[in-house]
């Protein structure tokens, strides 16, 4: 797929990675970029077409699909992190993360799949995380949702292959956004993450490992669980000790 002259829709485009995606799409020649947010008045990027969208609200998703019937590239970026554990944390918070990070993305795909088919197949980018593959105390609900979103992405890729829709999973460690401001560690620049993802789409890639952290974590998956967990504990300790 060629980003140039594409019509893209980016969720959560008012800040962070979503803002970077929308900006880089314009700079790379997208013909139109729909920038969506729950509060559309917070989108401040010239050149985009702003739409209100709450991905956890089915009616809002349906309205966005009706308004953006020319989309050829869907970037599922919007998500939340509540800092909740699975056993002792709020079950309502766990459900909220699942409804947003998994079912919200799936709802977008279900609504936009027919649009993409009519427009030649196109592509879907699902912004995931290296935490698709490991948990950490204080954020295990997020781990659960990203693991589930990874599985969902793999499933819809199979289901949409016949209509010619590319589904690209993008994994990263930390990006230099407001959400990670309290972590004094190396982070990928949002624009670099967006470029890596869009390069992957143009190359027809099913998966993009956008930084060294995500590449390192995935390389450890063949380890036995106890070996994997011990290795991740050492890696996280080294990361936070920097």
Query: pLDDT value at position 187?
Result: 77
Tokens of 142: 């997020």
The CATH number covering residue 170 comes to: 3.40.50.720
Q: Is residue 224 part of a domain?
A: yes
What's the domain count of the chain? Answer: 1
The three-point CA angle 33-73-43 to 5° equals 30
* 62 lies in some domain: yes
What CA–CA distance (Å, rounded) separates 153 from 42? Answer: 29
| 174 within domain boundaries | yes
Please identify which of the residues 142, 150, 157, 194 carries the catalytic annotation: 142
pLDDT per position as a tens digit, 193-210? 999 999 999 999 999 999
φ/ψ of 166, rounded to 5, equals -75, 135
Quote the CA–CA distance of 38 and 60 in Å, as a whole number.
Answer: 9
Could you list the mean pLDDT of each consecutive 10-residue stretch along the chain, which spans 242 residues? 95 95 97 97 96 97 98 97 96 97 98 98 97 95 98 98 98 73 69 96 98 95 97 87 60
Q: How many residues does the chain have?
A: 242
Q: How many CB atoms lie within 10 A of CB 105?
A: 27
Q: Tens digit of pLDDT for each residue in 130-168?
A: 999 999 999 999 999 999 999 999 999 999 999 999 999
Q: Is residue 43 part of a domain?
A: yes
CA distance 51 to 62: 12
* Residue 34 is a catalytic residue: no
Residue 1 domain flag: no
The predicted structure's pLDDT at residue 183: 52
In a domain, 15, yes or no: yes
70 Cα distance to chain centroid: 21
Per the structure, the complete domain to which residue 69 belongs is given by 7-241
Query: For 92-101, b where at least 16 C-beta lie within 10 A, e where not — what string?
Result: eebebbbbbb
């Amino acid at each position: 797929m060629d980003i140039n002259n594409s019509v893209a829709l980016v969720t959560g485009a008012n800040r962070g990675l979503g803002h970077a995606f929308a900006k880089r799409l314009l700079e790379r020649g997208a013909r139109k970029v729909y920038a969506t947010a729950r509060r559309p008045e917070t989108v401040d990027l010239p050149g985009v077409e702003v739409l209100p969208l709450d991905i956890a609200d089915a009616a809002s998703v349906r309205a966005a699909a009706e308004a953006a019937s020319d989309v050829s590239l869907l970037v599922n970026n919007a998500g939340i992190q509540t800092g909740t554990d699975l056993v002792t944390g709020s079950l309502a918070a766990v459900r909220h993360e699942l409804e947003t990070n998994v079912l919200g993305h799936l709802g977008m795909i279900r609504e936009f799949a027919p649009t993409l088919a009519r427009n030649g197949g196109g592509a879907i980018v699902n912004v995931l995380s290296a935490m698709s593959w490991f948990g950490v105390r204080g954020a295990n609900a997020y781990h659960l949702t990203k693991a589930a979103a990874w599985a969902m992405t793999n499933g819809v890729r199979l289901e949409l292959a016949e209509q010619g829709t590319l589904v690209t999973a993008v994994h990263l460690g930390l990006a230099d956004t407001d959400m990670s401001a309290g972590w004094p560690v190396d982070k990928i620049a949002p624009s670099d993450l967006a470029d890596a993802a869009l390069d992957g789409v143009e190359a027809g890639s099913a998966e993009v490992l956008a930084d060294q952290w995500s590449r390192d974590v995935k390389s450890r998956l063949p380890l036995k669980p106890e070996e994997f967990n011990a290795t991740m504990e050492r890696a996280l300790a080294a990361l936070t000790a920097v």
